[in-house]
């Protein structure tokens, strides 16, 4: 074999060696690159997985804190609402108790008024019957000294006035309240200075008081109190006027009016003292 052939063989061998070495290096680089890439991916997964797990744990923890806080807020609000309801119930109970006491007081006063009215009607019936027998067929003439303003007595008591009053009074006793009111009003319009004017106003006051028409009762009793201070019905009308003031809420006037008739041992004075003792 010549020198030239040997040279070619040597060159080819060197090239083959170089190529194999290069290929092996490339293969090593490739494998190392894959290993590095896989390592990076795996590391990333591990690194990424940890924050996800932490986030998940943190999220659960936050949710727990939020739920706990909401639960506490709901409990606090429920407790607050319960306390408010309890307070409202106590307030309502107090109002109910006050109303009950007022109703009991008014009921007692109404009962007393009915009893007093029955007693007065009974006591007046004997007087009315006796006077009717005496005055039935005659007109009484009477003279009297002149008295100031509305307190002067009429010079004549006509039979017609007596009939007006007796008719209204009879309707009251029989329970015909509307006719009684109409009769007493007609009497006082027709005979403003009549002998029975104060009586008519008084009975109107009694009727209105029993009907709880306090303004009308006040007006009727006040008329007797102011215009007929010498009349027999004055103490009774004054006591009733005080009761009306009391029921209207003016306790100062009520006490002052009723205190003015507490002296003596009459039934009205005793009633007045008892009323003051019970209510003031």
For the chain, 280 residues long, give each residue's pLDDT as a single digit of tens.
544 445 555 555 555 565 566 556 556 655 555 555 555 555 544 544 445 455 455 555 555 555 555 555 555 555 555 665 666 666 566 666 666 666 666 666 666 665 566 566 656 555 444 444 434 443 334 333 333 444 444 445 578 888 889 999 999 999 899 999 999 999 999 999 888 999 999 999 999 999 999 999 999 999 999 999 999 999 999 999 999 999 999 999 999 999 999 999 999 999 999 999 999 9
| Best CA proximity match to 239, nearest among 220, 261, 224 | 261
pLDDT of residue 204: 96
Backbone angles phi, psi at 140, to 5 degrees: -85, 130
CATH architecture of 138-279: Alpha Horseshoe (1.25)
| Best CA proximity match to 202, nearest among 171, 238, 242 | 238
pLDDT of residue 219: 97
For 140, the enclosing helix (H) or strand (E) is: strand 140-141
Q: What is the pairing mode between strands 140-141 and 156-157? A: antiparallel
Tokens 């606090």 map to which residue? 76
pLDDT of residue 18: 58
Residue 155 has which token pair?
A: 């010079």
DSSP states of 26-67: HHHHHHHHHHHHHHHHHHHHHHHHHHHHHHHHHHHHHHHHHH
pTM of the predicted protein model = 0.51
- Measured between alpha carbons, how far is 62 from 40 in angstroms, rounded to an integer? 32
Could you tell me the residue ranges of all domains in the chain?
1-103, 138-279
């Amino acid at each position: 074999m010549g020198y030239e052939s040997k040279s070619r063989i040597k060159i080819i061998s060197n090239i083959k060696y170089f190529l194999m070495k290069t290929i092996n290096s490339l293969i090593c680089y490739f494998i190392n690159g894959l290993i590095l890439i896989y390592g990076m991916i795996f590391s990333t997964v591990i690194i990424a997985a940890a924050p996800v797990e932490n986030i998940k744990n943190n999220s659960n923890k936050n949710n727990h804190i939020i739920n706990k806080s909401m639960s506490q807020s709901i409990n606090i609000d429920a407790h607050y609402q319960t306390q408010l309801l309890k307070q409202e119930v106590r307030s309502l109970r107090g109002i109910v108790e006050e109303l009950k006491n007022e109703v009991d007081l008014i009921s007692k006063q109404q009962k007393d008024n009915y009893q007093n009215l029955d007693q007065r009607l009974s006591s007046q019936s004997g007087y009315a019957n006796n006077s009717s027998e005496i005055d039935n067929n005659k007109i009484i003439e009477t003279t009297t000294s002149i008295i100031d303003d509305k307190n002067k007595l009429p010079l004549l008591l006509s039979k017609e006035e007596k009939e007006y009053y007796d008719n209204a009074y009879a309707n009251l006793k029989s329970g015909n309240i509307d006719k009684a009111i109409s009769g007493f009003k007609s009497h006082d319009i027709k005979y403003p200075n009549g002998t029975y004017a104060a009586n008519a106003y008084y009975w109107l006051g009694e009727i209105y008081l029993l009907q709880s028409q306090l303004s009308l009762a006040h007006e009727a009793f006040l008329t007797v109190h102011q215009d007929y201070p010498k009349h027999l019905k004055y103490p009774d009308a004054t006591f009733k006027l005080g009761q009306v003031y009391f029921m209207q809420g003016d306790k100062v006037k009520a006490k002052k009016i009723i205190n003015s008739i507490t002296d003596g041992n009459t039934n009205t004075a005793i009633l007045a003292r008892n009323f003051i003792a019970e209510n003031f």
